[in-house]
Amino acid sequence: MSRRRKIYEGKAKDLYEGPEPGTLVQHFKDDATAGNAEKHAILDGKGVINNRISEHIFSHLNAIGVGTHFIKRLNMREQLIREVEIIPVEVVVRNIAAGTLAKRLGLDEGTPLPRSIVEFYYKNDALGDPMVSDEHITAFGWANPQEIDEMMALAIRVNDFLSGLFLGAGIKLVDFKIECGRLYENDMMRIILADEISPDSCRLWDMKSDEKLDKDRFRRDLGGVIDAYQEVARRLGVLQENDPVPTGGPRLVKG
Ligand code: TMP
């Protein structure tokens, strides 16, 4: 039996050909990068934890009628997904000032925003994912105005769902990034959620202490990255209280 064909190599995930047309296998790696890949490390078990957290979130979103690319988890590091045409725009939703917003506008990190703010960034590593407006997106043909409206609506629905989910786990959802893709079915096209949602793509702070439970621990050299990701997984009920850090390669799981 030969290994499936790799069709895309990303910083934290690879994509392989799926078992049927229109499907792909998304493989979560332990690689962590920051500062446009200038900083790189292997964090044992990160891929396994993110696969589980993203499965948890995407399957709940599917269940409440938010379209996502997620079909099912295949093993410790892989999930079966629908193939979509990725829109080259990252959508960031912010509830509390942090990161580049705090820096750009001179706000103290932790300042609650008057309302949730949606921003767009052009997906381009060589340029460091610059922030763009609707005008850039439509002028350069990355998405049309109706698609921008659909991405905004999707982002807001995901924000509402995620804010509640994390609130129930004693976690503040500060901000997060999503990616969207076009799914072609018969003669129809719709925009669905793609990529992943995990502590790699969200800022998550403990409700009481504001302790960071996300990738900022890696970006800012705070240590304890895997412990924090595991804590998120445990609070979401994805990992059991005494589970060891799940390292290693793909293994078959039941279900
Ligand atoms: P920022 O404050 O660095 O602009 O990031 C905002 C949020 O979006 C934060 O949770 C990290 C996430 N994000 C990514 O995961 N990948 C990206 O390429 C960008 C621009 C943001």
**Helices and strands (H, E) in the chain, number of each type:** 6, 13
pLDDT, one tens digit per residue, over 21-76 is: 999 999 999 999 998 778 999 999 999 999 999 999 999 999 999 999 999 999 99
State the pLDDT at residue 251: 45
Q: Please work out whether the CB of residue 175 comes within 6 Å of at least one atom of ligand 1.
A: yes
Query: Which residue, judged by its Cα, is nearest atom 21 of ligand 1?
Result: 177
Query: What is the spatial distance between Cα 180 and Cα 178, in angstroms, rounded to a whole number?
Result: 7
State the pLDDT at residue 187: 93
Confidence of residue 192 (pLDDT cuts 50, 70, 90): very high
**Average pLDDT, integer, range 108-136:** 97
State the pLDDT at residue 38: 87
The yes-or-no verdict on residue 246 having pLDDT over 60 is no
- Testing ligand 1's pocket by substitution, the residue of 129, 201, 204, 220 carrying the most ligand atoms inside 8 A of its CB is 201
Nearest ligand 1 atom to the CA of 176 is 10
CA 176 to ligand 1 centroid distance, Å: 6
DSSP structural state of residue 112: E
Nearest ligand 1 atom to the CA of 175 is 10
Contact 183, 22 (CB under 8 A): no
Percent of the chain with pLDDT over 90: 90
CA 177 to ligand 1 centroid distance, Å: 6
What DSSP line would sit under 113-178, residue for residue? Answer: EEEEEEEEEE--GGGT--EE-HHHHHHTTSS-HHHHHHHHHHHHHHHHHHHHHHHTTTEEEEEEEE
Give the distance from CA 254 to its chain's centroid: 25
pLDDT, one tens digit per residue, over 216-244 is: 999 999 999 999 999 999 999 998 765 65
CA 156 to ligand 1 centroid distance, Å: 16
Percent of the chain with pLDDT over 70: 93
The yes-or-no verdict on residue 255 having pLDDT over 50 is no
Q: What is the pTM of this model?
A: 0.94
State the pLDDT at residue 241: 62
Nearest ligand 1 atom to the CA of 214 is 10
Average pLDDT across the chain, whole number: 94
State the pLDDT at residue 248: 52
pLDDT, one tens digit per residue, over 62-116 is: 999 999 999 999 999 999 999 999 999 999 999 999 999 999 999 999 999 999 9
Q: Please work out whether the CB of residue 97 comes within 6 Å of at least one atom of ligand 1.
A: no
Helix (H) or strand (E) holding 23: strand 23-28
Q: Please work out whether the CB of residue 73 comes within 6 Å of at least one atom of ligand 1.
A: no
Amino acid at position 101, single letter: L
Query: Which residue, judged by its Cα, is nearest atom 18 of ligand 1?
Result: 129
